Amino acid sequence: MSKYRKIDVRIWNDAKFRDLSHNAKLVFFFLLTHPNMTALGAMRSTLSGLAEELDFELEVFREAFREAFAKGMVKHDSKACLIALPNFIKYNQPESPNVVKAWVNSLDLLPECDLKNDVISLSANALKGYSKAFREALPEAFLKTYPKSMPNQEQEQEQEQEQEQELLKKNNAQEVFEESTQLEKLKQGQFAKPDTFKMTFDWKPTANFETRCKVAGKDYSKFTDDILLSFINYNESREQYKTQKEWEGLLLNAFMRELAKLADKQQFINQPKQPEITPPVYKNWSDEPLPPPRKPMTPEQLAGLRAIRGEK
């Protein structure tokens, strides 16, 4: 098992991860960097054992684990004691075909169950965009033992060849270029729908955005360039394709959140101030003069005191 894990810093931009509680974030990082996590992004373990490793109460750990599980960031088969991270290979990609061949060693460490077959399928699908050497290395590791979990590689190659032949039949070189570009994006999962585009720094909402704000009952005069710039900076680094109308809808949501923050801040400012409490003044007794010393007792007083005490 590898001693290192790759963690994409853009994880802090991911909405699913940001919505997790602090405990759930810690549990997810704990699973991602666990020493027993295999190269396939799966390991055999129990929730009670993991909770004990983190010195968590079992119910606290279960609740944190349940958050990540509900968002699809973690998969779990409690009966087989198998835990898997579906996007593990996406961010910990194999560096050579030999690494792919070595995946079979990780399979021996995982208990047989439906989740294990899902892990195999996810691993196979993760190599679709790789070179032929990677794709040929995969069946050598998986096909003999788990043929049902493997994708039909020959069928995939035939489909790719048919698509390439159809492109070559076109007479217009520009059409060939555009469709081949779209095909490559489709393979990489980055194909954009018509009329959609990524967020850019020069993007601006249309004049219709002001009307949408009024319909929503929001004061457009409070919309500032800082709100627009913050919205663009957040979405520019995200691989999202949306129409102009969809982007403006998201901007309206961001604007409404900013207005809510301003309202909360104003409410806090308008709260009546608590009366100031004057601290008590403590007298420094060390500055007071010492009392005068007592006068010595006279013989008569001393004799009377001894008589009272019964002394002779």
Q: Report pLDDT digits (tens) over 177-228.
A: 455 555 555 544 444 567 888 888 888 999 899 998 988 888 888 899 889 9
Q: Residue 190 has what pLDDT?
A: 47
The rounded distance, in Å, linking the Cα atoms of 279 and 284 is 15
Query: What's the average model confidence in pLDDT over 134-161?
Result: 57
Q: Residue 291 has what pLDDT?
A: 76
More confident residue, 261 or 138: 261
The rounded distance, in Å, linking the Cα atoms of 121 and 112 is 14
pLDDT surpassing 90 at residue 235: no
Q: Report pLDDT digits (tens) over 157-176.
A: 555 566 666 655 544 445 54
pLDDT surpassing 60 at residue 100: yes
The radius of gyration of the chain's CA atoms, rounded to the nearest angstrom, is 36
More confident residue, 109 or 144: 109
The rounded distance, in Å, linking the Cα atoms of 107 and 43 is 10
More confident residue, 310 or 22: 22
What's this model's pTM, rounded to 2 decimal places? 0.47
Please give the single-letter amino acid code of residue 193.
K
The rounded distance, in Å, linking the Cα atoms of 33 and 20 is 18
Q: Residue 188 has what pLDDT?
A: 47
Which sign, positive or negative, has the C-alpha torsion 281, 285, 289, 293?
positive
Provide the 3-class DSSP secondary structure of residue 110. Answer: coil
54, two tokens: 């983190």
Residue with tokens 């958050």: 67
Q: How confident is the model at residue 149 (pLDDT cuts 50, 70, 90)?
A: very low
pLDDT surpassing 60 at residue 7: yes
Average pLDDT in the chain: 80
Q: Residue 250 has what pLDDT?
A: 92
